[in-house]
């Protein structure tokens, strides 16, 4: 039976959260909505539909949702050729693969966006599979994206770990029954990640890589 190391991507392996904040803020502004960047930042990690609903509420004109989402997609797309990986992101995935983990991505990104993220990570040779929110009925914080990631590689939850940078990641992983590792590089405070389910927290992929021996992703010994 495989053991999976499941990774969120935005803010966890690629330094994109604040690019998303800027793109969403401008998309909302173009639609006539004054949404603070702080509020947008706290919502990053949700799928597009859920993010819009979270920030504008149930009383919004839902007919605007597709326009806002499309504007965000177009604005964010201008960064595709220069998305910056977080420190040692690719090295971490390659080390885990050598240690016997099945490395899986769990992300709401797809199409050209996912391609740009994978180019930034530069570790396609060790990524076994990618689970997208498009493949499930409910995105994070529901457990389905993590559960689908485990199914793709035939791994059990109790043998697996989910690494992410938002409270939505931690809640999804906890509900799926996997151990959760939080990273601070997405800008969410340690206390919030721990409250949402993180059993360990590290600064970024480089810090996790340097701390593997004492982490939930420690090599079998």
Write down the pLDDT at residue 221. 57
What DSSP assignment string belongs to 32-101?
A: T----HHHHHHHBTB-HHHHHHHHH-TTS-GGGHHHHHHHHHHHHHTTGGGPPBPTTHHHHHHHHHHTT-
pLDDT digits (tens, 9 = 90+) for 25-79: 999 999 999 999 999 999 999 999 999 999 999 899 999 999 999 999 999 999 9
Band the pLDDT of 135: cuts 50, 70, 90.
confident
Q: What is the mean pLDDT of residues 176-202?
A: 98
Q: 81: how many CB neighbours lie within 10 A of its CB?
A: 9
pLDDT digits (tens, 9 = 90+) for 81-115: 999 999 999 999 999 999 999 999 999 888 899 99
Write down the pLDDT at residue 128. 97
pLDDT digits (tens, 9 = 90+) for 151-172: 999 999 999 999 999 999 999 9
Q: Supply the pTM of this predicted model.
A: 0.95
Handedness of CA 41, 87, 130, 112 (dihedral sign): positive
Q: 84: how many CB neighbours lie within 10 A of its CB?
A: 12
How far lies 89's CA from each of 98, 120, 145, 169, in Å? 15, 9, 21, 18
The single residue listed with the structure tokens 């173009």 is: 30
């Amino acid at each position: 039976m495989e053991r999976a190391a499941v990774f969120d991507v935005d803010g966890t392996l690629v330094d994109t959260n604040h690019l998303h904040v800027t793109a969403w803020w401008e998309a909302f502004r173009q639609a006539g909505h004054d949404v603070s960047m702080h509020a947008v930042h706290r919502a990053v990690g949700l799928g597009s539909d859920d993010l819009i609903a979270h920030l504008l509420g149930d009383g919004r004109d839902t007919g605007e949702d597709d326009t806002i989402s499309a504007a965000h997609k177009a604005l964010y797309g201008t960064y595709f050729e220069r998305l910056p990986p977080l420190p040692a992101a690719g090295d971490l995935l390659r080390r885990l693969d050598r240690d016997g983990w099945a490395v899986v991505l769990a992300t709401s990104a797809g199409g050209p966006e996912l391609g740009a993220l994978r180019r930034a990570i530069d570790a396609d040779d060790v990524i076994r599979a990618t689970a997208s929110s498009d493949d499930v009925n409910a995105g994070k914080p529901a457990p389905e994206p993590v559960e689908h990631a485990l199914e793709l590689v035939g791994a059990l939850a109790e043998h697996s770990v989910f690494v992410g940078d938002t409270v939505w990641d931690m809640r999804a992983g906890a509900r799926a029954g996997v151990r959760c590792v939080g990273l601070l590089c997405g800008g969410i405070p340690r206390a919030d990640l721990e409250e949402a389910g993180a059993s360990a927290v590290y600064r970024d992929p480089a810090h996790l890589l340097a701390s593997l021996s004492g982490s939930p992703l420690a090599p079998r010994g």
